[in-house]
């Protein structure tokens, strides 16, 4: 969505934006010259938005094959004296860590900002991890914004700090900030042109590392001084409070809201921490000098809590430091406003000394604020069904998984093992397919499948991977499968794009246009000397199933690519609604279509017959369901036949 | 209005939760100069899973999360999700605007999870003692306008009729104009109007006072 107001708006303009957009605006204000990364929720909007901005403003912005390549690309820009920004989700930092741990030993000539958008609670991730630790580990500064204005300003100043210290700077956001939409005020854009040129009069390597590492440590000893000129760390108190709350990054909002709601402003001192590394030790000591207890809010490790404990020890003051590690707050998962209010209330009860009268602490504006779930009494808890994520209507992966299960059954496989990976196709773990059995990191399916085949020689191992995952990290594993001649069937689910994160392009995306090349997966695996390679359309599951059966009979490694365009691509927006229907006289309510195919557009009549009908407003005409009914009750309506044929000609077999 | 008005939009991925929350936020900020926060998750939740948007409008808004028992209004784009969120977040005198078209999760269709019909959902909500429950057949109303995709705007229009809703119909229309794709603007504005009219007539029929700020 074009954002002229965000890209070109003048300073002082107030507009609505998402946290990730605020970060892009900050980069634009700093005159960024390259933005890259790899898609990953909750970070994807950063590079997506930068790509749009780059078209208007003329800098470089594009997706990279994976986060390591992205970081190395940014390194090239920085070595040319340009300002570069790399963006990824928390696990992406794991992928680029090798490069990061060496760039930190080099005096970089251009500003390098690394944006890590962490996912506390892992709502869209496989794990939780706290990347403030990376800043400490890599010995670089970390900035942690608490709102959109800070996200913008910190991103902009991160380039300045990076060039001052000649070190990369980590901007650490969290999903709750990056995906928050709120009002933001724009700042001025740095219009100065930056000359980018690789200065060949020096070398750019950390080797041998001893002296560079000493230099790195010196830089970090200077860092608190450089950061002191910003107001991102703030002590809010009078020096008389017995209680304190120290809040890192976004959790400051909860600290503020909790204290306000409980009316405890006069009794609680707040410490806002916007630079978790290096931490504002002077302000921490100022707080610890007068309080008896400090509640520490942060996501998602006890990073700040441990620093406070360390400082309290240094001061030889017996201050109680309460947080995740001490058990006062949940030890994992994202900070919730409800937990904060509860914790503040209970800590206040434990540690406060009432002066005149006992004060009952209540929510000043919420005297009866309980939800039905919180009230004791007669309400019956509603029996609510879980709602799992599932494939979109018209998703090619639904058809592919259906074909896979059918093929596995027909082949009579003895206890096969199906390995999964990360992408939309991960939903093969869920109903109705439930066929995937393992999933760890990006591309891990391949190496995992290799050893699974070696340790379980009588069982067929099938490794499922997506197109983007294949390019990102799958290739080395497939190469090794080929090298070992392992009897693994690799099933590539190719929907043309990096779909889960918003349909971003990758090297296999079916572009026309000559600026970028397309390198098809089948060409790569053939070059890897995989002996059996097939490309089949996803849209005819019966034919795909037959191909899979044939391939399963061969010994040795095989790659089958099931190809079908993602349902959310613009080319599929011209949906052929209401194409499919069920012949009511043939449907006997067996529900096999629901249990084996499970398209959301299948509705069950509530007249007791259990007959299935197709929701016209949802069906988009992919017709993959056509032969999923044992009674042959599905058909394409006559009125849609011509449109359907055209739709199918466009999609079916076009890229195969 | 009060310092803060909290509402939640609950639906299923693909129902247009995001546009609905943005229209409300745009109306609040750009048309009425109020501060606003939206909390949402994107990505895997869009794939047919439950989607919740928390929208906070006010003079002094801090964090984006609505504490339990604080929400003034629940907009249920889908009734099971509307019930789920009302149960967890609605304040004692809060209101619920509910789309009447149930979208059963796959596991309910498979018999692995409970199935809920509209009558049962209505029953649970009544027992929670909600004074203002407005049911809108947004699917039918949207189809009358040419596309089921306009359901979300019908529901936003209906929400605007609830007593205490802080934004004017005019602000919402301006927001729709600013945020909808050009080819959808007219349809979406009509959807707002239709939803509002439908809700107003139901509220009047049930004797609920409808005069409030912004109207």
Query: Model ipTM?
Result: 0.94
A81 CB neighbour count, 10 Å cutoff? 18
**Contact at 8 Å (CB) between B197 and B136?**
no
Residue A242 reports pLDDT greater than 80: yes
Check if A415 contacts B (Cβ < 8 Å): no
In chain A, what residues touch B116 (CB-CB under 8 Å)?
A: 382-385
Residue of B nearest to A146 (CA): B63
CA dist., res. A371 & res. A324, Å (int): 26
Q: Which residues of B touch A256 (CB under 8 A)?
A: 62-63
Residue A360 has pLDDT above 80, yes or no: no
Would the CB atoms of A392 and B14 count as touching at under 8 Å?
yes
Using CB atoms, pick whichever of A341, A595, A606 lies closest to residue B117. Answer: A606
Question: What is the torsional sign of CA A445, A447, A450, A451?
Answer: negative
Q: What crossing angle do the helices spanning A396-410 and A541-553 adopt, rounded to 10°?
A: 40
- Is 50 exceeded by the pLDDT of residue A359? no
B residues 152-211 near A, CB within 8 Å? none
State CA A520 to chain mean position distance: 26
Q: Return the residue in A5, A372, A431, A603 with the most chain B beta carbons within 10 A, the one to mutate for interface testing.
A: A372
Q: Which of A368, A380, A389 sits opposite B44 (nearest CB)?
A: A389
Closest-CA distance, A458 to chain B, in angstroms, reads: 33
Q: Which of A2, A383, A387, A610 to mutate to test the interface with B (most CBs of B within 10 A)?
A: A387
Asked if B131 reaches chain A (Cβ–Cβ under 8 Å), the answer is no
Task: Say if the Cβ atoms of A123 and B45 lie within 8 Å.
Answer: yes
Query: Closest partner residue to B87 among A183, A260, A373, by Cβ?
Result: A373
Q: Which residues, in sequence order, are CB contacts of B57 under 8 Å at separation 6+?
A: B4, B5, B6, B7, B24, B25, B28, B34, B35, B36, B166, B167
What average pLDDT score do residues A607-629 get?
A: 91
**Angle between helix B185-205 and helix B151-159 axes, rounded to 10 deg:** 40
- Is the CB of B107 less than 8 angstroms away from the CB of A500? no
Whether A379 contacts chain B with CB within 8 A: yes
The helix (run of H) or strand (run of E) holding residue B150 is none
Q: Do A16 and B65 touch (CB under 8 A)?
A: no
Predicted confidence (pLDDT) per residue in A588-602, tens digit: 999 999 999 999 999
Q: Does A41 touch chain B (CB under 8 A)?
A: yes
Q: Does A388 touch chain B (CB under 8 A)?
A: yes
To 10 degrees, the CA torsion angle through B66, B70, B73, B79? 80
Longest Cα–Cα distance of chain B, Å, equals 49
Gap between the Cα atoms of A4 and B180, Å rounded = 16
- Whether the bond between A432 and the residue before it is cis, its omega within 30 degrees of 0, is yes
Contacts of B3 in chain A (CB under 8 A): 365
Tens digit of each residue's pLDDT (9 = 90 or more) over A152-165 = 999 999 999 999 99
Phi, psi torsion values for B6, nearest 5 degrees: -110, 130
Alpha carbon A422 to its chain's center: 11
Residue A182 in contact with partner chain B when CB distance is under 8 A: yes
Q: Which residues of A touch B15 (CB under 8 A)?
A: none
Read off φ and ψ for residue B50, nearest 5 degrees: -75, 135
Q: Half-sphere exposure of A398 toward its Cβ, with a 13 Å CA cutoff?
A: 27
A124 contacts B45? CB cut-off 8 A: yes
b/e A198-211 (16+ beta carbons within 10 angstroms → b): eeeeeeeebeeeee
Q: Give, in order, the Cα–Cα distances in Å from B167 to each of A183, B30, B65.
A: 17, 11, 20
SS3 assignment, position A228: coil
Contact B88 A371 (CB under 8 A): yes
Q: Is B102 on the interface with A (CB under 8 A)?
A: no
Chain B hits for A124, Cβ within 8 Å: 41-45
The pLDDT, as a whole number, for residue A408 is: 96
Set of chain A residues whose Cβ sits within 8 Å of the Cβ of B65: 176, 254, 336-337
Confidence of residue A473 (pLDDT cuts 50, 70, 90): very high
Mean pLDDT for the stretch of residues A548-576: 88
Binary contact (B67, A369; C-beta < 8 A):
yes
Contact B39 A598 (CB under 8 A): no
Q: Closest to A338 (Cβ–Cβ): which among B41, B67, B127?
A: B67
Question: ω before A257 within 30° of 0 (cis)?
Answer: no
Identify the three-state secondary structure at position A118. strand
Residue B196, token pair as written in the block: 């509002």
Q: Is A377 exposed, middle or buried (0-12, 13-18, 19+ CB in 10 A)?
A: exposed
The distance of A450 to chain B (nearest Cα, Å) reads 28
pLDDT band at A453 (very low <50, low <70, confident <90, very high): very high
Q: Which residues of chain B are within 8 Å of residue A378 when distances are taken between CB atoms?
A: 127
Q: Which residue in B21, B49, B69 is closest to A387 by CB distance? A: B49
Categorise residue A503: left if φ over 0, alpha if ψ from -120 to 50, beta otherwise.
Answer: left
Chain B residues with CB under 8 Å of A261 CB are 67
* Contact: B113, A385; criterion CB under 8 Å: yes
Closest residue in chain A to residue B110, using alpha carbons only = A595
pLDDT along chain B (215 residues), means of 10: 85 92 95 92 74 90 90 97 95 95 96 95 90 94 95 98 95 95 95 97 82 41
Q: Residue A64 above 80 pLDDT?
A: yes
Is B3 in CB contact (< 8 Å) with chain A? yes
pLDDT(A1) > 60:
no
pLDDT at position A195 over 70: yes
Question: pLDDT tens for residues B114-152?
Answer: 999 999 999 999 988 888 999 999 999 999 999 999 999
Cβ <8 Å between B87 and A431: no
Flag whether pLDDT at A367 surpasses 60. no
A60: phi then psi, degrees, rounded to nearest 5 = -90, 130
Calculate mean pLDDT across residues A20-26: 98
Q: Is B63 on the interface with A (CB under 8 A)?
A: yes
Instruction: Out of B49, B69, B143, name the one closest to residue A388 (CB).
Output: B49
């Amino acid at each position: 969505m074009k954002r002229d107001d965000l890209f070109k708006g003048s300073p002082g303009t107030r507009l609505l934006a998402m946290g990730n957009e605020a970060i892009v605006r900050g980069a634009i204000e700093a005159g960024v010259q390259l933005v890259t990364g790899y898609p990953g929720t909750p970070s994807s909007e950063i590079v997506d938005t930068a790509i749009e901005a780059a078209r208007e403003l003329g800098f470089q912005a594009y997706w990279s094959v994976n986060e390591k390549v992205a970081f190395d690309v940014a390194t090239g820009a920085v070595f040319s004296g340009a300002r570069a920004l790399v963006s990824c989700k928390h696990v992406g930092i794991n992928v680029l860590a090798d490069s990061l741990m060496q760039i930190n030993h080099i005096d970089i000539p251009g500003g390098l900002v690394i944006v890590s958008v962490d996912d506390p609670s892992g709502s869209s991730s496989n794990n939780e991890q706290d990347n403030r630790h990376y800043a400490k580990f890599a010995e670089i500064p970390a900035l942690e914004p608490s709102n959109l204005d800070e996200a913008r300003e910190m991103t902009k100043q991160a380039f300045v700090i990076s060039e001052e210290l000649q070190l990369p700077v980590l901007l650490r956001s969290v999903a709750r900030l990056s995906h928050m939409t709120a009002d933001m005020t724009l700042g001025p854009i740095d219009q100065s042109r930056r000359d980018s040129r690789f200065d060949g009069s020096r070398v750019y390597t950390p080797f041998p590392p001893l002296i560079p590492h000493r230099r790195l440590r010196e830089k970090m000893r200077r860092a608190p001084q450089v950061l002191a000129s910003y107001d991102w760390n703030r002590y809010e108190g009078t020096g008389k409070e017995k209680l304190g709350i120290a809040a890192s990054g976004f959790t400051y909002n909860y600290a503020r809201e909790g204290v306000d709601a409980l009316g405890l402003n006069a009794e609680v001192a707040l410490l806002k921490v916007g630079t978790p590394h290096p931490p504002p030790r002077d302000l921490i000591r100022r707080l610890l000098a007068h309080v008896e207890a400090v509640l520490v809010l942060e996501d998602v490790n006890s990073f700040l809590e441990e620093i406070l404990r360390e400082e309290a020890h240094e001061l030889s003051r017996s201050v109680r430091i309460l947080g995740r590690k001490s058990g006062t707050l949940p030890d994992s998962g994202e900070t919730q406003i409800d937990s904060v209010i509860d914790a503040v209330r209970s800590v206040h009860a434990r540690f406060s000394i009432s002066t005149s009268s006992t004060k009952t602490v209540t929510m000043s504006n919420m005297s009866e604020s309980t939800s039905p779930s919180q009230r004791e009494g007669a309400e019956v808890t509603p029996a609510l069904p879980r709602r799992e994520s599932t494939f979109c209507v018209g998703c090619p992966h639904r058809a592919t998984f259906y074909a896979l299960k059918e093929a596995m059954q027909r082949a009579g496989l003895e206890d096969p093992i199906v390995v999964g990976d990360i992408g939309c196709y991960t939903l093969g773990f869920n109903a109705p397919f439930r066929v995937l059995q393992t999933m760890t990191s990006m591309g891990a399916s391949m190496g995992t499948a290799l050893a699974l085949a070696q340790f379980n020689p009588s069982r067929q191992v099938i490794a499922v991977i997506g197109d983007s995952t294949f390019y990102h990290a799958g290739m080395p594993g497939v190469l090794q499968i080929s090298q070992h001649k392992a009897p693994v069937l690799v099933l590539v689910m190719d929907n043309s794009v990096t779909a889960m994160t918003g349909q971003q392009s990758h090297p296999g995306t079916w572009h026309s246009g000559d600026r970028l090349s397309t390198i098809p997966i089948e060409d790569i695996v053939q070059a890897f000397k995989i002996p059996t390679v097939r490309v089949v359309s996803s849209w005819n599951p019966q034919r795909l199933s037959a191909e899979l059966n044939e391939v399963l009979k061969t010994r040795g490694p095989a790659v089958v690519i099931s190809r079908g365009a993602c349902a959310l691509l613009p080319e599929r927006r011209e949906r052929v609604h209401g194409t499919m229907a069920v012949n009511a006289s043939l449907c006997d309510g067996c529900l096999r279509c629901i249990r084996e195919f499970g398209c959301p557009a299948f509705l069950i009549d509530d007249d007791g017959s259990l007959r299935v009908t197709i929701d016209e407003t949802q069906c988009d005409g992919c017709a993959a369901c056509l032969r999923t009914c044992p009674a042959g009750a599905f058909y394409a309506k006559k009125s849609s036949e011509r449109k359907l044929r055209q739709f199918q000609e466009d999609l079916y077999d076009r890229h195969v | 209005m009060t310092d803060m008005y909290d509402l939640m939009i609950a639906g299923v991925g693909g129902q247009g939760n995001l546009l609905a929350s943005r229209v409300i936020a745009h109306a609040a900020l750009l048309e009425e100069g109020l501060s606003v926060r939206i909390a949402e998750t994107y990505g895997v939740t869009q794939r047919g899973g439950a989607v919740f948007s928390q929208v906070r409008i006010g003079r002094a808004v801090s964090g984006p999360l609505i504490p339990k028992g604080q929400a003034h209004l629940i907009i249920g784009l889908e009734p099971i999700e509307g019930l789920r969120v009302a149960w967890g977040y609605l304040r004692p005198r809060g209101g619920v605007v509910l789309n009447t078209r149930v979208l059963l999760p796959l596991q309910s269709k498979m018999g692995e999870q409970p199935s809920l019909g509209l009558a049962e959902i209505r029953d649970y909500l009544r027992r929670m003692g909600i004074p203002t429950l407005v049911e809108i057949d947004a699917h039918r109303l949207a189809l009358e306008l040419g596309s089921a995709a306009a359901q979300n705007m019908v529901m936003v229009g209906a929400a605007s009729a609830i007593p205490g809703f802080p934004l004017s119909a005019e602000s919402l229309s301006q927001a729709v104009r600013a945020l909808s794709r050009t080819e959808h603007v007219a349809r979406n504005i009509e959807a707002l109007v239709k939803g509002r009219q439908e809700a107003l007539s139901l509220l009047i029929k049930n004797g609920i006072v409808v005069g409030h700020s912004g109207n």
